[in-house]
């Protein structure tokens, strides 16, 4: 039996994207939402206009057939839209833009990407898979306005990136900090009355962090390509660290043996893929989870420390402060 024929959906990043998508998906829609439950699949789109030129979109869907979303480019002009897209689904989506192709997903090497205006993009969604995506759309004018209000050295740093003649297409693994930021945005979007001020702050912070990562990669010596089998093994280790944050960090010697690498090779490739050393990555995972629990007011600092295996509250407080520059008591309101 051959592969099902793909349904092709075209979209633009302008103000008319929602009604255009709704029409193609046979969805019911309002100014801010679109819902469909038909032969194409079941899902919803939701958008919040945070401020002028700044919008966040959430997309949840399961399709009954392969679906390809393709960006339709408008007539070129000096302006356009920057896009930050994250796939929080267990299953990756295949995305391509020009010569750039990646598998974007929570469990894959790349979970979030940032692109500059006028880069066309396509996304392939497989049938019978539940997808959750968050899009952040920022107009060129909004980006310029944000940059103009910054102080040195942030001002010069941002101008160097945005004013570059090179198009930006930057894909990144989801580390603990990015996951925490996206969870905060998703949680706020689920509220009946989203806090636009909080969303505004979280989104701009997320975009700034992605631009920092663009700058870091631009200033690095080109790294050697990692073998596909090693990428798979390293992703499995990353996922284990995310899922087992309550446990003690496995020694590098044991993990290197598990991946059939030398400790030196493992440390080098892990940092190359995820931007942090193995131990720092795991420390971040644990501390961001600790912060999430403290902010939810479900546990106090002592209880969170015990959950993470700290017998000494002061050691937990020091580790927390190393990451966030504040004590856990400040977050918990102790």
The model's pLDDT over 152-164, given as tens digits with 9 standing for 90+, comes to 777 777 777 777 6
Same domain, 239 and 106: no
Q: What confidence score (pLDDT) does residue 59 get?
A: 92
Q: What confidence score (pLDDT) does residue 222 get?
A: 55
Domain's final residue, options 218, 238, 260: 218
Same domain, 206 and 311: no
Q: For residue 1, tell me if it sits in a domain.
A: no
Same domain, 197 and 256: no
Tens of pLDDT, residue by residue over 33-82, are 999 999 999 999 988 888 888 889 999 999 999 999 988 765 555 578 88
Q: What confidence score (pLDDT) does residue 191 get?
A: 65
Number of domains within the chain: 2
Here the CATH number for the domain that contains residue 183 is 2.60.120.10
Q: Is the dihedral of CA 169, 174, 175, 179 positive or negative?
A: positive
Burial class, 314, CB count within 10 angstroms (exposed 0-12 / middle 13-18 / buried 19+): exposed
Same domain, 92 and 199: yes
Our CA angle for 63, 67, 73, nearest 5°, is 135
Adjacent-strand bridge partners of 135? 57, 85
Same domain, 242 and 213: no
How would you write 293-319 as a 3-class SS string?
Answer: HHHCCCCCHHHHHHHCCCCCHHHHHHH
Same domain, 97 and 191: yes
Same domain, 153 and 202: yes
Nearest CA to 167 among 224, 110, 77, 98? 98
Strand, helix or coil for residue 242: helix
Q: What confidence score (pLDDT) does residue 334 get?
A: 61
Band (231; pLDDT cuts 50, 70, 90): confident
| Rounded Cα distance, 116 and 100, in Å | 13
Domain's final residue, options 169, 199, 218: 218
Same domain, 214 and 232: no
Q: What confidence score (pLDDT) does residue 221 get?
A: 56
Contact indicator for 276, 284 with CB cutoff of 8 Å: yes
Same domain, 145 and 263: no
Domain's final residue, options 155, 189, 218: 218
Average pLDDT, the chain: 85
Q: How far apart are the first and last CA of the chain?
A: 62
Q: Is the pLDDT of residue 243 over 80?
A: yes
- Annotate 145-171 with b (16+ C-beta within 10 A) or e (fewer): ebbeeeeeeeeebbeebbeeeeebbbb
Q: What confidence score (pLDDT) does residue 192 get?
A: 65
Band (266; pLDDT cuts 50, 70, 90): very high
Provide the residue range defining the domain that includes 61.
7-218
Model's pTM, two decimal places? 0.77
Average pLDDT over every residue of 188-204: 77
Same domain, 169 and 188: yes
| Rounded Cα distance, 85 and 99, in Å | 18
Q: For residue 91, tell me if it sits in a domain.
A: yes
């Amino acid at each position: 039996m051959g592969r099902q024929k793909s349904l092709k959906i075209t979209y633009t990043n302008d103000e008319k994207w929602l009604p255009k998508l709704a029409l193609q998906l046979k969805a019911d829609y309002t100014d801010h939402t679109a819902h469909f439950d038909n032969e194409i699949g079941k899902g919803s789109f939701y958008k919040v206009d945070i401020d002028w030129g700044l919008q966040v979109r959430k997309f949840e869907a399961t399709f009954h057939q392969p679906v390809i979303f393709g960006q339709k480019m408008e007539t070129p002009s000096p302006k356009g839209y920057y896009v930050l897209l994250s796939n929080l689904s267990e299953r990756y989506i295949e995305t391509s833009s020009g010569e750039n192709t990646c598998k974007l997903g929570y469990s894959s090497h790349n979970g979030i990407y940032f692109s500059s205006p006028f880069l066309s993009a396509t996304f392939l969604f497989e049938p019978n898979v539940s997808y959750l995506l968050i899009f952040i759309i920022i107009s060129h004018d909004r980006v310029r306005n944000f940059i103009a209000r910054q102080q040195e050295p942030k001002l010069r740093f941002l101008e160097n990136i945005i004013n570059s003649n090179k198009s930006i297409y930057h894909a990144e693994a989801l580390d603990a900090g990015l996951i925490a930021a996206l969870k905060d945005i998703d949680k706020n979007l689920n509220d009946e009355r989203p806090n636009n001020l909080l969303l505004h702050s979280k989104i701009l912070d997320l975009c700034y962090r992605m631009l920092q990562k663009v700058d870091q990669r631009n200033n690095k010596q080109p790294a050697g390509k990692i073998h596909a089998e090693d990428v798979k093994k390293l992703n499995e280790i990353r996922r284990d660290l995310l899922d087992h944050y309550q446990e003690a960090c496995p020694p590098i010697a044991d993990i290197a043996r598990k991946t059939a690498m030398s400790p030196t090779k493992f440390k080098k490739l892990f940092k190359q893929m995820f931007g942090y050393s193995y131990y720092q990555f795991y420390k971040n995972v644990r501390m961001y989870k600790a912060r999430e629990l403290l902010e939810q007011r479900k546990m106090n600092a002592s209880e969170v420390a015990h959950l993470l295996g700290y017998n000494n509250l002061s050691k937990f407080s020091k580790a927390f402060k190393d990451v966030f520059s504040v004590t856990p008591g400040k977050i918990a309101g102790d």
